[in-house]
Homo-oligomer: A and B are copies of this chain.
């Protein structure tokens, strides 16, 4: 991992299934990962489990603020409820850094999942609004936590749509997706087109239910 050799990737919400799954795969790929959680001890417990699962040393656990401060690239993998408040509290720690928002604002009722209306348009645009001095991108919305966490699945065969208005930042995030076997980062448009990518998770959940699958996307002809 020449490209990410010097960089630490932080995962806010790193004890949740999505953050933990991506952290595991990045750790396996040789990338230094810092798990963030509200409580440092929970983060360190999860980090220990990941070190053992991945057979590596370069995973640590800190509280979210220390995780953000200690990392070069930060994945936001927290629940939608509390998303804005957490990012507001980390504005200083995230200044100048590439932030990757993978949050899907969804509601659930008897008919299943549906997209929530977001005042700023999308979780990613909310992040951009709250973090004007960060380089906000959106990606990793559709990766199955189940597949990520199951190391008997050697290749996670999906494309990750990477959105953002900062070309260098989206290129870096695409490269970060490419480090996971089977996964490919594909530029997916400007941040203002993030809503539908986040909301599409509702459709993938419906597909999973109908087909008993862990559905993901591939982009054809690219």
Binding site for B on A (CB under 8 A): 111-115, 157-158, 161, 163, 186-190, 192-193, 195-197, 199-200, 202-207, 210-211, 213-222
Contact B115 A220 (CB under 8 A): no
Given contact pairs A112-B190, A219-B207, A200 touches B202 in the complex (Cβ within 8 A): no
Is the CB–CB distance between B222 and A161 below 8 Å? no
**Is A217 in contact with B215, judged by CB distance below 8 angstroms?**
no
CB distance B207 to A215 under 8 Å? Answer: no
Question: Known contacts A115-B196, A190-B111, A196-B199: does B213 contact A221 (CB below 8 Å)?
Answer: yes
* Partner of A199 from B157, B193, B210 at Cβ < 8 Å: B193
Report B-chain residues with C-beta under 8 Å of the C-beta of A213.
221-222
Q: Are B161 and A193 within 8 A (Cβ)?
A: no
Contact across chains for B157 and A193 when beta carbons are under 8 A apart: no
Q: Is the CB of A186 within 8 A of B207?
A: yes
**A190 contacts which chain B residues (CB < 8 A)?**
111-112, 206
What is the copy number of this chain in the assembly?
A: 2
Q: A214 CA to B221 CA in the complex, in Å?
A: 6
* A193 touching B115, Cβ below 8 Å: yes
Closest 10 CB pairs of A and B: A189-B206, A196-B199, A218-B218, A196-B196, A216-B220, A213-B221, A189-B203, A211-B222, A196-B200, A213-B222
A215 proximity list for chain B (CB < 8 A): 219-222
Shortest Cβ gap from A67 to chain B (Å):
30
| Most chain B beta carbons < 10 A, residue from A188, A195, A196, A202 | A196
Since A199-B199, A215-B220, A215-B222 are in contact, a sample of 8 more A-B pairs with Cβ atoms closer than 8 Å, ordered by chain A residue number, is A115-B193, A187-B207, A188-B206, A189-B203, A193-B203, A196-B197, A197-B203, A217-B217
Q: Report the minimal beta-carbon distance from A162 to chain B, rounded to whole angstroms.
A: 11
Subset of 28 A-B contacts with CB under 8 Å? A111-B192, A113-B193, A114-B192, A114-B193, A115-B193, A115-B195, A186-B211, A187-B206, A187-B207, A187-B210, A187-B211, A189-B202, A195-B196, A196-B196, A196-B197, A196-B200, A197-B203, A200-B200, A207-B219, A213-B221, A215-B219, A215-B222, A216-B219, A217-B218, A217-B219, A217-B220, A218-B218, A218-B219
